[in-house]
Amino acid sequence: MPPVSTPKERLAELVSTLAVVHGRVTLASGREADYYVDMRRATLHHEAAPLIGHLLLDRLEEEGFGPDDIDAVGGLTMGADPVAAAMLHAAASRGLELDAFVVRKAAKEHGMGRQVEGPDVAGRRVVALDDTSTTGGSVLTAVEALRAAGAEVVACAVVVDRDTGAREAVAETGLPYIWILDTEDLGLPATR
């Protein structure tokens, strides 16, 4: 492997080393693959998490979503949680205000009965996140919950796109779909 020269290359190296597990697995989408990208091994890692936060902020800005265009980030628990926290901290280190939130799979049946936890998202511009995406199902479930909570969803973003249909599924909704790494960056085959 050539020497690492950019933050994206370093993140790809970390994800490849920490998170890619080879062997036959069934993905959340129900599809089978010869490898699994266990992103929690990277999103909760002391070096990878800050890179993820900064690189996703940079990617969003490259796609036209600067600090004044986004109020909060988050997605379906649990994959999106550390990604949102990394972005919140990266933004704060840049002197930017960016909140994070968590989307439950279903609204709580006690307490406030909320499906979206954290600062209120109603009327705010948000980005729906996930750590990795195969079909786009998780991030689109988050989009539905966020819209029901009154948020204006402006984009979807993931750390790793498996190049297996998520891009197309999100595109059908009219939302921009942004990622840092794909299977080519990780030297992996797409599992269409």
Q: What is the pLDDT of residue 181?
A: 98
Chain-wide mean pLDDT for the chain? Answer: 92
Average pLDDT for residues 22-33, to the nearest whole number? Answer: 82
Instruction: For domain 52-182, say whether CATH 3.40.50.880 is its number.
Output: no
Q: Does 40 show up as a binding residue in the annotation?
A: no
Taking only the tens place, the pLDDT of each residue in 58-79 is 999 999 999 899 999 999 999 9
Domain residue spans of the chain: 52-182
Q: Does 94 show up as a binding residue in the annotation?
A: no
Q: Are 61 and 127 in contact (CB under 8 A)?
A: no
Taking only the tens place, the pLDDT of each residue in 128-162 is 999 999 889 999 999 999 999 999 999 999 999 98
Handedness of CA 148, 151, 154, 160 (dihedral sign): negative
Residue keyed to tokens 């909704």:
173
What percent of the residues of the chain are helix, what percent strand, and what percent coil, each to the nearest 5? 35, 25, 40
Q: Does 16 show up as a binding residue in the annotation?
A: no
Percent of the chain past pLDDT 90, that is, above it, reads 78
Q: Does 110 show up as a binding residue in the annotation?
A: yes
Which whole-number Å values give the CA distances from 156 to 41, 126, 137, 186, in the listed order? Answer: 22, 9, 12, 21
Q: Does 34 show up as a binding residue in the annotation?
A: no
Residue 106 confidence class, pLDDT cut points 50, 70, 90: confident
Q: What is the pLDDT of residue 49?
A: 98
SS3 32: strand
Q: Does 191 show up as a binding residue in the annotation?
A: no
Handedness of CA 120, 122, 40, 104 (dihedral sign): positive
Task: Please indicate whether residue 130 or residue 1 has the higher confidence score (pLDDT).
Answer: 130
Q: What is the pLDDT of residue 39?
A: 96
Average pLDDT for residues 84-93, to the nearest whole number? Answer: 98
Q: Does 8 show up as a binding residue in the annotation?
A: no
**How far apart are the C-alpha atoms of 112 and 126, rounded to whole Å?**
21
